[in-house]
Chain A
């Protein structure tokens, strides 16, 4: 299975994964990392190394980070420079994470990346617009 690392500031990654597990059930081969304001970058990098080590038997690694340009993103890019096979998406959301349940029947990490990108965009909806559209039908 493809290994996933969800990385954020301040416990968001853990909370969002918990939320998804309540909705769909346990997500395997998944590590979460949070970076807290009293921590040093070196602590964050150590957490990345532990997570990557835990997922070393996985068939590819996809890192999901909270936002582009933050410390989690900077360290993820550093890891990419050490291992060019890693894929990274920034701006993860719940609809994206919910797609992870079906990842066992997917081929490679690139395919999963495309699927998650599409799903996360489809999960952002203007609800008033949707209601108007449905009423027209």
Chain B
């Protein structure tokens, strides 16, 4: 099982406790080209040591995640829909993506309590869906999944 999650808070309580500990995930790969040294240091400190944690650049992601990861449950974490598009463009097969949280910043409008999107991000999500990838909004495993189309069609 591989969970693909879009969450602009990246590594935080919902990810560590709500998903990883709760579902017993074994690995967490963060895919991001813009993350600072300082952010990396903080994440390496807070991710539980028994979790295999990697921070990967989009350019070298393919070798890492095309090998068979699905024998152990884990999570691929990104901060926005565009990283998912890059993965799809690199030939990674993704059946389903969860949007766990995209919070307010200038240029984004609100779609639900924890989802704010810019017009560009809405476009990117439509493009992800056009790859036959299901996109669901879901903050936590115990909460109901909502198809993102329901939010962005209005």
Contacts and interface: CB of A to CB of B under 8 A. Distances in A.
A26 B18 CA distance: 11
A22 B18 CA distance: 9
Interface in B114-154: 140-143
Interface in B1-36: 13-14, 17-18, 22
How many chain B residues sit at the interface, stated as a range, is: 10 to 19
Interface string A94-116: 00001001100000000000000
Interface of B is mostly: helix
Interface string A111-137: 000000000000000010011001000
Contacts of B17: 23-24, 98
Contact of A24 (B44, B45, B140): B140
A118 to B, nearest CB: 15
Interface in A44-61: none
Nearest to A131: B45
Interface of B: 13-14, 17-18, 22, 44-45, 140-143
Interface of A: 22-26, 98, 101-102, 127, 130-131, 134
For the complex of A and B, list the 10 residue pairs with the smallest distance between their C-beta atoms, beginning with the closest: A25-B142, A23-B13, A25-B140, A24-B18, A23-B17, A98-B17, A23-B18, A24-B17, A23-B14, A26-B142
Given A23-B18, A98-B17, 13 more contacts: A22-B13, A23-B13, A23-B17, A24-B17, A24-B140, A25-B140, A25-B141, A25-B142, A102-B22, A127-B45, A130-B45, A131-B45, A134-B45
